[in-house]
């Protein structure tokens, strides 16, 4: 069966996560496609920022390697994500239908929602997010179907998107590996990026929940452009330049003000 480009490149990344360094010959043996095709893949993936080309193969980029597993990402900047979750909750109203992606920040929002009495319908691609939310009888939880991989706590692929034809997503709460004025929201997992793009298109409003360490950084692939983002929720006051740029791009901001930081 012919393998899609994204599927092939995701397999390359999975092998890199495991081995840290691979040769084209090894990849050809594991994936079952020609070395010429794989060289083209590796060259493009290096240009996209996923990996570093070596003589005869490729190696995982250090910054990618440090931040790939969900467990690692969940533990990182925990306090900041809690602040963001509490601020993001202010945007939600009774009986709405919202979507939470599989990000660790969205999981923090789910944990906050679990203790609230508000009635909501919550659609999610996050396995852990769904498990958290099911504890609250006021929440109707809809899980989007798809592929589950051993490195992730999210659904990957677009197999289950048809369910969104039957619900109206008023707000999508999402996070990424980076956010910049030029690119918007970016992430590194090819399958998750493709799914997130589709979720963004099917949501009426997109809420970006981004801790301050990710603002001004970019990852490998864009899943939401600046013009698709309605509002940015973050944990620290923004500088005047960034605030002005966000306003010019019609992105509203929900962040602590300077007075609350003193």
Condensed to tens digits (0 to 9), the pLDDT of residues 71-96 reads 454 455 788 999 999 999 999 999 99
State how far the alpha carbon of 104 is from the alpha carbons of 21, 34, 36, 72, in Å. Answer: 27, 37, 37, 10
**Tens digits of residue pLDDT in 120-144:** 999 999 999 999 999 899 999 999 9
What is the model's pLDDT at position 66? 44
Q: What percent of the chain has pLDDT over 90?
A: 63
Give the domains, in start order, of the chain with CATH numbers: 5-65 (1.10.10.10), 70-261 (3.40.50.1360)
What is the model's pLDDT at position 257? 66
What is the model's pLDDT at position 150? 62
Highest mean pLDDT among 63-72, 162-171, 214-223: 162-171
* Mean pLDDT, the chain, integer: 87
Q: What percent of the chain has pLDDT over 70?
A: 89
Least confident among 189-193, 215-219, 230-234:
189-193
pTM: 0.75
Is the pLDDT confidence value at 54 over 60? yes
């Amino acid at each position: 069966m012919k393998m899609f480009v994204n599927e092939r490149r995701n397999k390359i990344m999975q092998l890199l996560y495991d081995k840290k360094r691979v040769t084209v010959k090894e990849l050809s043996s594991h994936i079952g496609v020609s070395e010429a095709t794989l060289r083209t893949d590796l060259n493009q993936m290096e240009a996209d920022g996923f990996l570093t080309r070596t003589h005869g193969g490729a190696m995982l980029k250090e910054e990618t390697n440090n931040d790939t597993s969900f467990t690692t990402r969940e533990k990182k900047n925990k306090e900041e994500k809690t602040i963001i979750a509490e601020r993001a909750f202010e945007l939600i109203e009774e009986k709405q239908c919202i979507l939470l992606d599989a990000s660790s920040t969205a999981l923090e929002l789910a944990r906050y929602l679990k203790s609230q009495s508000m009635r909501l319908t919550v659609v999610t691609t996050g396995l852990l997010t769904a498990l958290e939310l099911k504890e609250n009888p006021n929440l109707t939880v809809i899980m989007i179907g798809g592929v589950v991989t051993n490195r992730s706590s999210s659904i990957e692929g677009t197999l289950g998107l048809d369910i969104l034809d039957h619900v109206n997503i008023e707000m999508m709460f999402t996070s990424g590996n980076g956010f910049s004025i030029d690119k918007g929201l970016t992430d590194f997992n090819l399958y998750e990026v493709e799914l997130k793009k589709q979720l963004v298109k099917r949501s009426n409003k997109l809420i970006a929940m981004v801790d301050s360490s990710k603002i001004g950084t970019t990852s490998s692939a864009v899943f939401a452009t600046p013009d698709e983002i309605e509002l940015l929720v973050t944990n620290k006051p923004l500088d005047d330049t960034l605030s002005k740029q966000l306003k010019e791009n019609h992105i509203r901001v929900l962040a602590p003000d300077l007075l609350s930081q003193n």
